[in-house]
Chain A
């Protein structure tokens, strides 16, 4: 039994979620290899992950933007050697892995939150209102992993790095055109220890800047948002936390002016400590909050900033 984990990266850093996916792969009970389709530095980083016994490195530029068609062709070419193929359930893995699954005639097991055995997995359904235990009868398992449900592996490895991908015939049906990436000096949303999220009640980009960002910077938090705040254009799309956005599970999640719709809760209810600040004491967010403050955010946040000290 050998599992292949597809590394997730942004061209510069190996994601935290990759390490956690290695943990999920380890639970399958066999060897774990990692495929890095990207720069050599990332392959080196992957070789140091605890529990990894080999790193496959495909350095061809064709994979630089992780487009689904070349990625799937690469992975399918390597699949013969593996009993399971896993990727973090980020937008890259969600994009290319189902393509791999279909090419292998396998039913993918999406966004697992637990491994019960080599063929049995837990996964949330209905926006996390239920958890299904599913058993796969496919010979090869193709799995995306909800990384927040797993710890990063302990220890450091020193796995050999082996080049792969020579002579893979790459489909030429899609081309990268442009990207507009959100630049921020704050921690990345999914790996952050503290997240502060704003909802519709913030009312504008300026209010996010004036009320949310300074607090985030004081406590080293990442900033998230509800769908309503993203739809309204207050913050970029990649800030969305929820069923159909990012799933986070920080030590501390602070929800400000967010009502607590099930779709939002699906993305943050596994946080260790939840704080809700909302002026409506009936808001559903309070039903999951460890600490609730019924207050107008425009009065409470400046006070919070001061109370946090310099």
Chain B
């Protein structure tokens, strides 16, 4: 099989972002950027499938600024074979991303597209589903297990009630959840090797996709602040406060 792994450059998960005073967005100047953690899980899964002999080739694609090269190189260092950077400045919405990925799918003809269930910056959880829709492909979202079974892909999904396993006809789109695997760190020799792996570059404008945003962000504000309360000295005091002060027991 051939796997396409879209990855997004996002604010590192350890960063506590600050809202800009003019409410135009969050302050991203000098903030650490990383590969979206769920996409890292997708890269890892693709590499494991390759190591198991189920996958022959892994292509990584990122849509974003020039700097998103760093995230593609990281994926190449983890074991992907080649990369494609689609450069676009500013925010590209999930629907436009899905349309660009559709164009990539038509050219690359992957059997599976593996990507994160959500990006931890905009928390939208939709790109994979949208791509599946545009391609008319099956989708297995929130995957905690992915197995090839004959000509089907079995995907176990983390759902509100527990776990659900479905069988998908190929080609398919699979989005990853946290329990799918624990991504590896790239070794130094592999980081060196990744520098020589092919990385193509195209501009988003070359694809003939309308990138005009459908959502306008009117403002970005701080969430309501929660004040820290008090420390209680004992379990007895806690129960007393919950019963008599807060009235929640």
Contacts and interface: CB of A to CB of B under 8 A. Distances in A.
B155 to A, nearest CB: 9
A98 B169 contact: no
A107 B121 contact: no
B218 A135 contact: yes
B166 A67 contact: yes
- B-side interface size class: 35 or more
Contacts of A176: 164-166
B138 A133 contact: no
A182 interface: yes
Interface in A90-138: 90-92, 94-103, 105-111, 120, 124-138
A281 B233 CA distance: 12
Given A174-B139, A174-B166, A291-B230, A243 B120 contact: yes
Contacts of A127: 120, 123
B34 interface: no
Nearest to A126: B17
Interface string B203-240: 00000000001111111111100101111101110110
A136 B214 contact: yes
A304 interface: yes
A269 interface: yes
A133 B221 contact: yes
A246 B166 contact: no
A92 B160 CA distance: 8
Interface stretch (B51-59, B104-112, B190-198, B241-249): B241-249
A7 to B, nearest CB: 14
Contact of A108 (B124, B166, B218): B124
Contact of A275 (B38, B144, B238): B238
B216 A135 contact: yes
A310 interface: no
Interface in B85-128: 93-95, 98, 117-118, 120-127
Contacts of B19: 129-130
A251 interface: yes
B139 A69 contact: yes
Contact of B134 (A102, A136, A137, A295): A102
Interface string B139-151: 1111010000000
Main secondary structure on A side of the interface with B: mixed
B178 A231 contact: yes
B13 to A, nearest CB: 7
Contacts of A96: 129
Interface residues of A, number: 91
Main secondary structure on B side of the interface with A: mixed
Contacts of B158: 91, 237-238
B126 to A, nearest CB: 3
Given A110-B123, A304-B238, A273 B248 contact: yes
Contacts of B217: 132-134
Contact of B223 (A107, A130, A171): A130
Interface centre among A108, A109, A286 (most CB of B within 10 A): A108
Contacts of A109: 215
Contacts of A295: 235
A102 B178 contact: no
A291 B215 contact: no
A236 interface: yes
A125 B13 contact: no
Given A273-B248, A289-B228, A307 B124 contact: no
Given A107-B215, A243-B123, A275-B238, A94 B141 contact: yes
- Top 6 closest A-B pairs, CB basis? A98-B126, A290-B229, A98-B129, A173-B138, A102-B130, A107-B214
Interface of A: 10, 65, 67-69, 72, 90-92, 94-103, 105-111, 120, 124-138, 171-182, 190, 194, 219, 227, 230-231, 236-238, 243-244, 246, 251-252, 262-263, 269, 272-275, 281, 286-295, 300, 303-304, 307-308
19 contacts: A94-B129, A98-B129, A99-B130, A102-B133, A111-B124, A124-B123, A125-B122, A126-B26, A129-B17, A136-B215, A174-B139, A182-B162, A231-B179, A237-B179, A274-B226, A281-B231, A292-B232, A307-B236, A308-B249
Given A95-B141, A263-B13, A292-B230, 7 more contacts: A92-B159, A103-B133, A107-B95, A108-B95, A111-B125, A293-B231, A303-B235
